[in-house]
Structure 1
Amino acid sequence: MTWHITSDVSAFAENAGPFLRSSPVRHTVLLTVTASLLSKGPHAYGESDPILGWWADDRTQEVSGALLQTPPYPLTLTEVPPAAVPEAAAALSPHRPTAVNMLVGDIPAFTAAWTARNGGTAHAGRQSRLFELAELTPPDPLPPGAARVAGPADRALLIDWFRSFNEYIGEEPPNLAALVDDRMVYGGIALWEVDGTPVSTAAYTRPEAGMARIQYVWTPPEHRRQGFAGAATTAATRNALDAGATDVVLFTDLANPTSNALYPRLGYRPIEDRAVVEFSR
């Protein structure tokens, strides 16, 4: 078994694509990012080349693991066979990623192999939980207001709200204008508004292998604790299903008890826990 590391998006999609599509819920991030890289080019997320890889049997070429990074974001590692975890640390050493997002259970083996080979120290970062929709259960009763699909007149507001979301979770904002524009092309942003005033939003990614991911759930502080986030998430989820998604997923920050309590009430069930590990050089 061997890790194959490349920056060739087409080669990655050809070799790792069937493996990623075999479990679209668990591979949600790699599926959507790969689709973006294929359609918008290898530098869709930044100037640096992406780091892409798959774990394959040398004889049969069967793939049973994959990894992907679009710097400056953390590298994401799928669930892999136990032997592939320390081998990933070895294969990635020349690229020296500063942060890796992986299953919580794989952290000890990867960290031990990484620090033994490269020195430095490892620090625990953000922990997240992946949820999958089982059966959509709208809030009852719904809060005042109604849902609608965001349009061009909402662009400036959404860029501001998406920036606030990124700042809240501590991530570097991407090209937010392009992100908002892209989501609006396919009606991928839902707004909840009261008396004509938007009070909350939720977006979803283009369906890939039947899977769409809810993201950018945001309610400004002055409108919180009134049920608007649940209503906006319900609207975005329904829109994703109407757009053809058969699986709808989302991530929560495990440090946020509000979101971790909200989404199960809307019909989402937990699938796996992940964490980011940051490495010093």
Structure 2
Amino acid sequence: MRPDDWRLTEDVDAFLARAGDFLRSRPALHTTPLSVTEKLRTLGAAAHGGRFPVFGLLERADEQLLRWCREFAADVGEDVTIDAASWAGTRFAEKRYTFSETPNGTPVSMAGANPMVGGQVRVDPVYTPAHVRGRGYAGAVTVEVSRAAPAAGAQEVVLYTNAADPGDAVRVRSARSGWRRKRRGRGCAAGAV
């Protein structure tokens, strides 16, 4: 992401107006930012040593993330509405996203990673827009996410791919990268590193 994708503010109310619904959609996962912002909202700067922290709001990339999740869902046949109003209720909201970028900072691919559960992190979705596919971007971002998860304590990383599509680029390249098939499901295969 480029620096101009971010808007910085010390205004906790402006931050919560933009991010509050998302944070409250999974309060256990977001307990720290919810606690900090509530303390600042009620006590003011005194709650933070007399100074307000700076909050970052990701502007353009939010719209891009929504668009790419919509495009991914359409590509795999998911019937889901993904927009700012419905985001918190979608399966996509709980994930942390990593983007692959060109040298000039243009995002070209993304991979989502679910929160760790039982020592396991699930990688899903992996998406590259059609006009930049076939250049290794999805493979690169998948490798990055799959390396970060064990570094953060995951004992296993699971990648969902489209088993029904023999040409699924992520599945094919992942097999070359050391992933091994664990089981079959309807329309997807799970692999683990």
Counterpart of 2:116 in 1: which secondary structure? coil
* Pairs within 5 Å for 1:54-133: none
Given that 2:124 and 2:159 are in contact with CA atoms closer than 8 Å, whether structure 1 keeps it comes out as yes
User: Does residue 208 of structure 1 match 2:144?
Assistant: no
How far off its partner does 1:173 sit?
2.2
Contact 1:191/1:202 (<8 A) preserved: yes
Query: Which of the pair has more CA radius of gyration?
Result: 1
What residue is the counterpart of 1:219 in the other structure?
A: 128
Structure 2 CA distance for partners of 1:166 and 1:181, relative to 1, 3 Å = closer
Deviation at 1:168, TM superposition (A): 0.5
Stretches of structure 1 lacking an aligned partner (at least 5 in a row): 1-35, 41-150, 277-281
Which runs of 5 or more structure 2 residues have no equivalent in the other structure? 1-24, 30-56, 188-193
Aligned length: 127
Q: Corresponding residue for 1:190? A: 98
Query: What CA distance in whole angstroms lies between the structure 2 residues aligned with 1:227 and 1:202?
Result: 13
Letter of the 1:169 partner, please give it.
V
TM-score normalised to the size of structure 1?
0.41
Which protein has the bigger helix share? Answer: 2
Superposition misfits of 4+ residues, deviation over 4 angstroms? 36-40
CA contact (8 A) 1:155 1:181 kept: no
Q: As a proportion of its length, which structure holds more strand?
A: 1
| 1:197 Cα deviation from its structure 2 partner | 0.2
> What's the counterpart of residue 126 of structure 1?
none
Q: What's 2:76 paired with?
A: 169
Q: Distance in 1 between matches of 2:183 and 2:135?
A: 29
- 1:196 to 1:213, Cα distance in 2 relative to 1, 3 A: same
TM-score norm. by structure 2 comes to 0.59
Q: Would you say the 8 A contact 2:94–2:115 is kept in 1? A: no
Checking the alignment, whether the CA contact within 8 Å between 2:72 and 2:125 is kept in structure 1 is: yes
Q: CA RMSD in A?
A: 2.6
CA shift, 1:157, in A, is 0.3
Q: CA deviation at 1:207?
A: 0.5
Of structures 1 and 2, the one scoring higher in RCO (CA 8 A, sep 6+) is: 1
Preserved contact between residue 213 and residue 248 of structure 1 (Cα < 8 Å) = yes
> How has the CA–CA distance of structure 1 residues 182 and 38 changed in structure 2, closer, same or farther, with 3 Å as cutoff?
closer
Give CA deviations for 1:47-67 in whole Å, capped at 9, x if unaligned.
Answer: xxxxxxxxxxxxxxxxxxxxx
Distance verdict in 2 for CA 1:231–1:161, change over 3 Å: same
Superposed CA deviations along residues 51-100 of structure 1, whole A, max 9, x for unmatched, are xxxxxxxxxxxxxxxxxxxxxxxxxxxxxxxxxxxxxxxxxxxxxxxxxx
Q: Of 191, 199, 204, which residue of structure 1 is paired with 2:108?
A: 199
Deviation, structure 1 residue 38:
10
Q: Distance in 1 between matches of 2:94 and 2:145?
A: 15
Is the 1:191–1:201 Cα contact (8 Å) retained in structure 2? yes
